[in-house]
Every structure is written in structure tokens, then in C-alpha cells.
Structure 1
Amino acid sequence: MSTMSAKIVHISIDRDWREVYGYASRPQNMPFWASGLAFGLMQDGDDWIAEGTLGAARVRFTPHNDFGVIDHRVTLGSGLQVHNSLRIVPNGDGCEVMFTLLRLPGMTEEQFAADAAHVLRDLKTLKELMER
């Protein structure tokens, strides 16, 4: 597979990065801010099973770490695997949350833009939750 187009979707949050990471990195919290996982995640060994807008998917998260990395690999029912890179980075007293969105093969420019808008909505929801 050739290199896919990518877009970094990010938002600033006025809260210590460790607190944002602590909340955002827990799969149990993701349905509260990641709308693609609105139906929740159920643990299955090292993986989590997600029922979302694309149907059932298997999700494997990177282990908890001191670097703010919440990468996760999503395996769709079709077998397609997508690596999602999510980072929480210190920025003064707050942080930056950055998601690398990849344009999958066959995805139109309009679909890619809609995906980016969806990710930004989710990051805004995370921001609202964390700045309360």
C-alpha cells in the first residue's frame, strides 16, 4: 500500500496534559467523547470490541505510557486495519490533543473532509468535558 494522505486534527485544552491523558486513555470513557464509539467498548482480552457507526470493530490500544500516546489499531469486520495515532502533548499549563487522520483507499475528498470534521467535533467534546 502506498502512503496515504494525512491530516492532523488538533485542539488546545486548558487542563494539564496528564489529566487529559488519564481521562482520554481509558477505553471506558471514550463513548462520552468519541462519537464513533457511542455504543461503548467491551473488553475482550487485550482488545476491546466496539459497536459503532461502521458496525462491530476490534480495537487494540497502546499500553499506558508516560508520553501521552493513545494510539490504537482498529480492525473492521471486513478485515481492514486502521492505525489511529492520538497524542496528548503538554502546552504550558494546558495541552494539545492531536489525531492523525489518514485518507483510506477509495475515500473521496468529501468523505475525508467529513471524517476530519467528525474528529474535530469529538475533540471539541473532549475539550468541553475536560475544561468543566
Structure 2
Amino acid sequence: MSTLEAKIVHTTIDRDWRDVYAFMAKPENMPRWASGLSSGLTREGDHWLAPGPLGNARVRFAPDNAFGVTDHLVTLEDGTEVHNALRVVPNGDGAEVMFTLLRQPGMSAEQFAGDAGWVAKDLATLKSIMESGEDR
């Protein structure tokens, strides 16, 4: 298997990285900032269900950890798995949030760029929530 094209989409947040991680690590908070999950998540055992245009996706989240890892594995109804690497790291007194976007097989350059724009918009929403204190 060959590697996929990757793009790191990131934002700097003026808030302690531990606060950002604590908010991001709760799956029930994701619909507040991740627009692809705007219809919400429903817990089902050790994973979550996310309704979407391609049907219900199963989402498994990284367990709580001290490293700022908020990865999640999305399994589409057709069995396709998409690993979403999402990290929060200290950046001075604030945080750097990084999402590694992988260009999926068959995805055009335009679709990949569109996905990167979507991720950037979601991270901007997260930044706004965290810096305004709306997470409390």
C-alpha cells in the first residue's frame, strides 16, 4: 500500500492546552464545533453513531490521555475506515490544535482542498468557543 497525500490543518488557541483538550475529548462536544457532526452523536456501547449523507458512521474515540490525543476512527456503512488524527499540544500559555487530513483514494484535488477548508472552518469555530469561554 502506498502512502496518502497529507495536509496538516492547524490553529493557535489562546487558552491553556489542557482546557482545550478537556473540551475536545468529550465526544458530546464535537457537534458544537465540528460541522460535519452538526446533527449530533449518539452513544452505542464503546462507539458513537454519527448520521450523515452517506448513512450512519460509527466513530471510536481515543481514550482519555495526558498527551492531548483526540484521534477518532470513522467507519462508514460500506466498511471504509478513515483515521482522523487530531492533537492538542502546548504552545506557550496557549494551545496548538492540529488535524492531519489524508487525501482518500479517488478524491480529487478540489475535494481535498475543500475538505481542508472545511477543517479550517471547524478549527476556527473551536478557537472562537475556547477563547470566548463559551465552553463553560
TM-score range, shorter chain: over 0.9
Please list, as runs of the form range in 1=range in 2, the aligned pairs for 1:1-132 lying within 5 A after superposition: 1-132=1-132
Q: RMSD value over aligned CA atoms?
A: 0.8
- The alignment's TM-score, normalised by the length of structure 2, stands at 0.95
What is the distance in 2 between the residues matched to 1:66 and 1:21?
9
Of all paired residues, the percent bearing the same amino acid is 65
**Per-residue CA distance 1:15-41 (angstroms, 9 max, x = gap):** 000000000110000000000111111
Q: Is the 8 A contact 1:9 1:100 kept in 2?
A: yes
**Per-residue CA distance 1:32-72 (angstroms, 9 max, x = gap):** 00001111111111100001344310000110000000011
Give, in angstroms, the shift of residue 85 of structure 1. Answer: 0.2
Q: Is the 8 A contact 1:49 1:56 kept in 2?
A: yes
- The alignment's TM-score, normalised by the length of structure 1, stands at 0.98
Name structure 2 gaps, 5 residues minimum: none
**Per-residue CA distance 1:89-113 (angstroms, 9 max, x = gap):** 0001101000000000000000000
- Secondary structure in structure 1 of the residue aligned to 2:120: helix
Q: Is the 8 A contact 1:36 1:53 kept in 2?
A: no
**Aligned residues, how many?**
132
What is the distance in 2 between the residues matched to 1:4 and 1:114?
17
What is the distance in 2 between the residues matched to 1:108 and 1:29?
31
Name structure 1 gaps, 5 residues minimum: none
The ranges of structure 1 where at least 4 consecutive aligned residues each deviate by more than 4 angstroms after the TM superposition are none
